[in-house]
Amino acid sequence: MNNVERHTYILNQLDKNGKVLVLDLCEELGVSSVTIRKDLRFLEEENLLFRTHGGATKQNPYTTDKSVYEKAKINVEEKSRIGKLAASLIEENDSIIIASGTTLLAMAKEIKPKGELTVVTSSLQVATQMGAFHNAEIIQLGGTVRKTSFSVAGMFSELILDNFYCSKLFLGVDGLDMDFGITTTNAQEAQLNRKMIDSAHKVIVLADSSKFDKKSFGKITELDKIDIVITDEISETHKEALEAQGVKVLIAN
């Protein structure tokens, strides 16, 4: 194939599948990865696709802030499955941190506390959900309320976390990029999430498949600071990249 034929093939595959991988295109077109990467770079410059780690996608990988009402309507079934699997990791008499986000709220709805469960959370919705259990002690972080997420962030939240150390942090993200790490759309929330990571023995990220190859404004941390990623679907390339960083991947089928 010449350049035009390759470009046409790549765009057709994008229209069909929504994304393409460099390794697959090399095999299908019988050319080197260098050639494919040049093709993808050219097509991106023409505003025909967006390059990602190991491939390309039709969707812009940069995410912006959305209200919790809007997010609640996206990937509902996937978030429910992820939340159920995450909830199963909570142990008897556990002390955990639950960050904010619709996937974390889906998780909270699946929690059936065993023994005396202690929950530290920045999410007003999670606190309300967990408050129904007599054997769950809820510690609501204080600070400035973000109206788009019904959660708190800021200096006061971070100061409270100085007094706690929990077994697990359950963290939602807006983007998970294999090179850049995990991100969120708000800088204050990113700072609070970093503080949460310092206050937990194990970091568990809940991210449905739409979050992969996405970046947001506020960087939370590198991938090697994560212990577990729970998702609904993942490519073998992404799975291998995470495992190479020491991250365990759990699939919520």
Residues 31, 134, single domain; the answer is no
Q: For position 47, which CATH number holds? A: 1.10.10.10
- Cα torsion 168, 173, 176, 179 to 10°: value is -80
Whole-angstrom Cα distance, residue 35 to residue 12?
A: 18
Which residues have C-beta within 8 Å of that of residue 175, sequence separation ≥ 6?
61, 63, 182, 183, 184, 211, 214, 215, 216
pLDDT per position as a tens digit, 42-74: 999 998 988 887 889 887 777 766 666 677 677
Q: What pTM was estimated for this model as a whole?
A: 0.78
Q: At residue 242, does pLDDT exceed 70?
A: yes
Q: How many CB atoms lie within 10 A of CB 233?
A: 13
106 and 190 inside one domain: yes
- pLDDT of 221 higher than 90: yes
Q: 158 and 100 share a domain?
A: yes
In this prediction, residue 104 has a pLDDT band, given cuts at 50, 70 and 90, of very high
Q: Is residue 63 part of a domain?
A: no
Q: How many domains does the chain have?
A: 2
238 band by pLDDT with thresholds 50, 70 and 90: very high
Could you tell me if 73 and 46 lie in one domain?
Answer: no
Q: State the residue range of the domain holding 217.
A: 68-251
CA 83 to CA 37: how far, in whole Å? 36
